[in-house]
Structure 1
């Protein structure tokens, strides 16, 4: 790829994207990371063959894409510090800062840039992520494809046509890994209570989760169909699922996801109000 990309911030999520880009044969000399932590910058250069600088300047920012990869609470200050060195240059901005709306980016960086907001999740760190994206009206078809190509290096991507739906993405895939971790944790505790040792319980639970996810992805059947296929009337699985039904699992999960979406909305408003 001849596209030049600048990452503002060299944290875990930026590193996962850089790793994905390099594995997808993007040239290391076309990737620059602005990272004030000298040791972190040196490690990124060593591991991935990319350029690293301690701070932004006009030459560094002459890139096709600038990925904003700093913590949300730092983004206002960092973005405002890019305005002067950017000058008249108009790159595509891709923000992976959770909860920061495009209205904030326009306020801090200028209204006449093209902006894409992304909500990646932590499995992106191992190339198995799920990322929701939203493009504002100033993003061209080519820029949209470019943003998609960048985020696809960390896993699957899905676009939404309304920025407010990124709160739903946050509640689904953004926070979602923790839901599955909590369920695995509960299953492991249940297995130990039934008499299995910790190592055996962990091994069985984790590989059961992996196998179930692979079946859901590879079989072509929806989860409801798969559940029905493995549930014999009056059998052991049916007995367990009856307990979930009595506890109204669907309603519980729905309330949890609504709470996550509501919190995402509140955090966005708090960031803008500061």
Structure 2
């Protein structure tokens, strides 16, 4: 699979948040959050050489208005239809607990049906993401919005598989999605404490996730079933260090900001 040009989620934006030390002398034990987004309307493309392949968009995110489902496959050519669907906060968490480990904030469902080559299939689509972190009194701490590219490989259901899952496929020749890794250890300075916000992926039913070590992850999904991938977030906290260490922390934030600006210029 070839990796398209990548646009990493802009999770560095607003990473340093300074709130009153008098307001938060003790560590915050829970944060509220909002999550939104969906597929970028019109961003989907078919496998090379096939056009159209029945790509359509449906649903609407309550916050951003982005479509929540992208469907492909052409019944007129003998194919069923498959889809990818975004579900926000599928377990209805009220908040993210500090030092509480990973919390699921999004689910990506893949309804994976056998498609005929004459009908074509999805090759690439973009996902828009929005995340807001708030204090228990709903003061905004951190906000980000960005675009993630998703490459999709609708594999042929015959051996040998062209991109087999490590350790063996869930079903014969699982389909494969490839996208960018998410940001980790985003520092937030609030009162007397530094909070570290991280995002990642977690395999759900019918999926297998592997970090490729090149800034991308691959997700294998089983054939003829509904598979689920979770986007997760966690928040860890530590006391603000001594003044000399804190100065180095401030310099690191400046460096992160300069890095983010350089990326935007390319």
Give TM-score scaled by structure 1 length: 0.25
Q: Is the strand fraction higher in 1 or 2?
A: 2
> Looking at both structures, which has the greater relative contact order when contacts are Cα pairs under 8 Å and sequence separation is at least 6?
2
Larger radius of gyration: 1
Using the size of structure 2 for normalisation, the TM-score is 0.26
Q: Which has the higher helix share?
A: 1
